[in-house]
Amino acid sequence: MIEMFSHQFPRVPFEQLWSMFRDICNVEDHYFLCSFRDQEEVAKVIEDLPLSVGERFHLIYAPVNPNNPTLKTCLHKFASAIAHKQACQIRDVIRLPSEPPKSRVGIQVLENWHRAISLYMWLSFHYTSFFPQIEEAQKIKAECEASIQTGLAGLRTTGRDSEETKNSQAGRDLRRALALMKQRAASRKIIRKSSQLNLDNNS
């Protein structure tokens, strides 16, 4: 339907076209339209590329946070491959740090790369010829996950982080998560002791 609508306004940018389409949509009183804000932001990111209306419509529903700079850059590069009918080599876009992160900020960087890898994999199911390296993507994804785990283990071992992270919301979140992990570990230890006592009493 959006393609039929676009024929009526051939020179209108897709982001504006999408807003117009949203404004004329009507639903019954028992229903409501969800927010199109993220889709509109994604449409802006890829507006400069020579994509068809169908491709744009597909891409605005890609699993991507348009407010994340790393994901915006990766989305534009991936969409460019579709627009120019070229195969996208994942390591030309995804560049993981050579060493595991030593702070929560570093972990967040890897988390963003992990989301970008997931985006590549999502696109590979819809545009196989342009995103053919699904096995390589899975390999990089595993590397990224291992690096995140190593970074988290390092933070748990040292029990401290950089001053930048300590004073950040991410640092506070991390400390709460570590405290919760310790609490759960203590609870499991108590449960094991209680279970062992019950076994001893019953024997």
pLDDT digits (tens, 9 = 90+) for 131-177: 999 999 999 999 999 999 999 888 877 655 554 445 555 555 555 65
Instruction: Report whether 127 contacts 169 (CB < 8 A).
Output: no
Question: What global pTM score does this model have?
Answer: 0.69
CA distance 59 to 162: 38
**Residue type, position 199, single letter:** L
Specify whether the CB–CB gap between 118 and 84 falls below 8 A: no
Give the whole-angstrom CA distance, residue 70 versus residue 118: 13
Q: Which residue has the tokens 């028992």?
A: 30
The pLDDT tens digits for 66-100 are 889 999 999 999 999 999 999 999 999 999 999 99
Among residues 36, 57, 32, the alpha carbon closest in space to that of 46 is found at 57
Calculate ∠ Cα 137-152-90, nearest 5°: 15
| N- to C-terminal Cα separation, the chain | 73
Q: Token match 């339907």: residue?
A: 1
- Measured distance CA(145)–CA(115) in Å, rounded: 11
